[in-house]
Structure 1
Amino acid sequence: MNRTTRFLAACLIATLPAAFLGAQTAKQDMKDAGHETKQAAKDTGSGIKKGTTKSAHAVGEKTEEGWDATKKGTKKAYQKTKSGTKKAVNKVDGDPNTK
């Protein structure tokens, strides 16, 4: 064997074990796929939880704002009704100061 042939043979022999070490069995591939699927499901669940929590918080805030606006509007309507009723009663009673 000449020098070049020996060099190429040595390179080939050196790379063969690395090629076999990197190979996986079908069983190992399935196991890895299972782990990756499990992790993807966990990540999806975490994202859904985060989004749901954020949405629930926003709904709670908007509900509180709606409650406050309704309360304010009800008080205003009550005051207007009370004032209008007083004016009507005074008109019926003949109070000259009623406009």
Structure 2
Amino acid sequence: MNIKKSGIFALALATTLTLTAVAQDASQDMKKAGAETKSATKDAAHGITKGTKKAYHKTAEGTEKAYDKTAEGTKKAYHKTTDGTKKAADTVTGK
């Protein structure tokens, strides 16, 4: 009978140790999954930040270029209008 009790005790001990090891593995897997999720979130956030900054700078650059071109065109139109007005005035006065 002692052998039978010892066998049952050994079986119970082995089962307990196995279940404990499985529980630890599950806990470690959850921690690892959490760390990987955190890392992936950080990587995504850094990518979004980089893209947003790039878009901001490109927009500012494009706006500045458009402003410069508009100012250049306005000056050119002003000078052409002035020249045309002078020519018309000269024609009317007979110069």
Q: TM-score, normalised by structure 1?
A: 0.65
Aligned to 2:13: none
- Aligned-pair RMSD on alpha carbons? 1.9
| Partner deviation per Cα, 1:20-56 (whole Å, 9 max, x = no partner) | x8x9421221121011101100111001101111121
Residues 76-87 of structure 1: pairs in structure 2 closer than 5 A: 76-87=76-87
Secondary structure class of the residue paired with 1:25? helix
Ranges in structure 1 where 5+ consecutive residues have no aligned partner: 1-20
Aligned equivalents of 1:37, 1:73: Cα separation in 2:
53
Q: Which has the higher helix share?
A: 2
Offset at residue 90 of structure 1 (A): 2.4
Ranges in structure 2 where 5+ consecutive residues have no aligned partner: 1-20
| Partner deviation per Cα, 1:59-91 (whole Å, 9 max, x = no partner) | 211211111111111100000011111212222
Aligned to 1:38: 38
Higher RCO (CA-CA < 8 Å; seq separation 6+) = 1
Aligned to 1:52: 52
Query: How many residues in Structure 1 have an aligned counterpart in Structure 2?
Result: 74
| Partner deviation per Cα, 1:1-26 (whole Å, 9 max, x = no partner) | xxxxxxxxxxxxxxxxxxxx8x9421
Aligned equivalents of 1:57, 1:70: Cα separation in 2:
20
Q: TM-score, normalised by structure 2?
A: 0.67
Q: Which amino acid aligns with 2:39?
A: Q
Within the alignment, does 1:75 sit opposite 2:48 as a pair? no
